[in-house]
Amino acid sequence: MAEPQHRREQDSGALTVLIADDSRAVRAIMVRILAGAGFRTMEAADGSEALAVAQQDPPDLFLLDVDMPRMDGLATIRALKQRPQLADIPVIFLTARVDGDAAARGLEEGARDYIRKPCHPQELVARVQTLTRLAAQDRELQHRMNQLQQQSTVDALTGLKNRRWLDTHMANLTTTAPEGSQLGALLLDIDHFKHVNDEYGHAAGDVVLQIAAKRLDNAASGRRVVRWGGEEFMLIIENPTPPQDEEVARAVREAIGRTPMVVGPQLSLHVKASGGYARGAISEFRDIAKAADDALYRAKETGRDRLVIDGQ
């Protein structure tokens, strides 16, 4: 395997190009051109070597010769697309062929561009610079999209998933779960939360919600807890098994009020919660949520700080 000696010799902060070509002379020319333009380079004599090098040290761009022994450029790009770590790295094909068939096939397989050999040094640098810049812009755009997606499905105050996320999750679960799959839903409401806000201020109320969310998440043992809205939270139990699921629901509800909440330097509050629990077919989630809400209402009507189970 060709050693990536050029990478060690060049600026560690530079973008890296992996050159895969069976001609040592071609590789040497491209290394000299790209190094002069500020890029780091790695070398491989064929596609299999390129894959091995890239797995250990992913580059920012591949320059792949179409015609190589053992594993040519077309086979290499297909293999790259099968590796999540490498699939999105841009590829430029190198070809000495005068017809356009190889270039067209390469573009169909996912290459971003192609260069005919021999190429002018300025053209090589310009094409590599353009593609690495576009790839960086794509990564930044994807990062921002991921951030927006995260913000839209996570409750900013508690860090729990929110109701929008739950709607999407349930839609997916409904279509992927085996027919007849069951679901349990525990709906919790912090007792006398309005009094907390009125007596101690909304900042204290926010701290109560944050502490409650953390206690619920810890007690849920990997099950999903979402902020349903206001001072309400929902625990989802997939494939519930009576009566164990009811015991889980009780333990999660009790976790909120097990110890006082330290809300401020000189303020500790004994906070309790009421809960309603219901189960049913995953496909009937709206009905399950309504039944849990009705059970929660009965818990509040009968004294609060308790769990009411639908149908009991």
Tokens matching residue 99:
């017809």
123 — phi, psi (to 5°)?
-65, -45
Query: Known catalytic residues?
Result: 231
Determine the residue type at 263: V
Using CA atoms, how far apart are residues 155 and 31, in angstroms rounded to an integer?
50
Q: What are the residues whose beta carbons fall under 8 Å from the beta carbon of 196, sequence distance 6 or more? A: 190, 204, 205, 208, 269, 271
Using CA atoms, how far apart are residues 75 and 78, in angstroms rounded to an integer?
5
Determine the residue type at 10: Q
- On the CB side of 100, how many CA atoms lie within 13 Å of its CA? 4
By the 10 Å C-beta count (0-12 exposed, 13-18 middle, 19+ buried), 195 is classed as exposed
Tokens matching residue 134:
């576009």
Tokens matching residue 114:
């192609």
Q: Is 267 helix (H, G, I), strand (E, B) or coil?
A: strand
Tokens matching residue 253:
């509800």
Using CA atoms, how far apart are residues 62 and 172, in angstroms rounded to an integer?
37
Q: How far is CA 190 from CA 183, 229, 300, in A?
A: 23, 11, 10
Using CA atoms, how far apart are residues 182 and 129, in angstroms rounded to an integer?
54
